[in-house]
Structure 1
Amino acid sequence: MSTAPASTSTALADAERHLRAAGLKVTAPRLAVLDAVTGNGHLDAEAVHERIRADLPGTSLQSVYNVLGALHGAGLLRRIEPAGSPALYESRIGDNHHHVVCTRCHAVADIDCVVGEPPCLVPADAGGFAIHTAEVTFWGLCAECRQVPPA
């Protein structure tokens, strides 16, 4: 009989199912990275590495990069690359949401689609492309940074 809480075993089974459905082999590092990113906002590879180190101490930062690349390539994670920031990974996939980045503390938050259905924005001239996604990054000060006077 398993001693893991039902929610943990359900999450693990879901992660295994998602990996298999994406054509990926189920491995401990893939499960750990997927778990570390799922529901935890926008994380860079170093933050993911820190989250999994206790459970998988032999996992290198390079391995985390490799797993993140595989999970992104399989469509299980989304990668965003705000200017001046390392790549960030999130588990919110399957929609065309956008992001806002604080110019002071670099916090990142999701913003739902700007207008209507994806791609949310329609260019004046698509140059013959069939547009399916629009990626927008808004920049500004988060609520916490707005409370602190500039240095």
Structure 2
Amino acid sequence: METTAETATRPRQDEWTSHLRSHGRRVTKQRLAVLDAVDAVPHATAEDTVRQVRSVLPNMSVQSVYVVLADLATIGMVSKFEPPGSPARYEIRTGDNHHHAYCTRCGLIQDVPCAVGHAPCLTPSQDHGFTLLSAEVVYRGICPQCQHDIAADTLVAQ
């Protein structure tokens, strides 16, 4: 008998299966486990993904997870971005050219919709003849919780 969780994940896995096959990739338990892991933990590092995958496939090597992540990024099934001073992060959300807000104090990452207009969201002063496909923006700042903590620390120090 199917559980509700199994039924709920089937449409997503059917979509992934179709995408993998359309890009000439075999549908393997390793690829599906990595996709499940990235889907479960948005903005995860590769190491976070390894831990998540190993809860399902304990013998999958770190190198294999990195290889699968790189391949999935190549075919557009995951996106990779690199916040300043932090390891690369991966997410399932692709194709919408969203951006990220990154807390320089605690490392919290939040998605930010497209900055302005249609993708690539930013119009450069010079495109050097490129046909621009996307723009990657990382807004650096201090998240609300860290702002609150800083204010509380300041009050205690007075």
- TM-score scaled by structure 2? 0.87
Cα offset for 1:8?
Answer: 2.6
Q: Kindly tell me the number of residue pairs found equivalent between the two proteins.
A: 150
Residues in 1 aligned to 2:14 and 2:122: alpha-carbon distance in whole angstroms: 37
Q: Does 1:132 align with 2:128?
A: no
Counterpart residue number, 1:86: 87
* 1:75-127 deviations in Å (ceiling 9; x for gaps): 11100011211111011111111111100111111111111111111111212
The equivalences for 1:35-114 within 5 A come to 35-38=36-39, 40-114=41-115
Residues in 2 aligned to 1:10 and 1:126: alpha-carbon distance in whole angstroms: 40
Moved over 3 A (4+): none
* 1:21-73 deviations in Å (ceiling 9; x for gaps): 22211111100000111253201111011111121000111111011011001
Cα offset for 1:15?
Answer: 2.2
Q: Given residue 45 of structure 1, which amino acid in structure 2 is its aligned partner?
A: A
Q: Does 1:141 align with 2:142?
A: yes
- TM-score scaled by structure 1? 0.91
Q: Given residue 41 of structure 2, which amino acid in structure 1 is its aligned partner?
A: N
Residues 124 and 10 (structure 1), Cα distance of their counterparts in 2 relative to 1, 3 Å cut = closer
Residue aligned with 2:111, SS? strand
Counterpart residue number, 1:3: 2
Residue aligned with 1:148, SS? helix
Residues 83 and 15 (structure 1), Cα distance of their counterparts in 2 relative to 1, 3 Å cut = same
Residues in 1 aligned to 2:128 and 2:55: alpha-carbon distance in whole angstroms: 50
Residue aligned with 1:93, SS? coil
Residues in 2 aligned to 1:61 and 1:133: alpha-carbon distance in whole angstroms: 30
Q: Given residue 52 of structure 1, which amino acid in structure 2 is its aligned partner?
A: V
Contact map agreement 1:41 1:109 (CA 8 A) in 2? no
Residues in 1 aligned to 2:64 and 2:73: alpha-carbon distance in whole angstroms: 14
Contact map agreement 1:37 1:48 (CA 8 A) in 2? yes
Q: Identity percentage over the alignment?
A: 43
Which stretches in structure 2 are left out of the alignment for 5+ residues? none
Question: Which deviates the most, 39-48 or 88-97?
Answer: 39-48
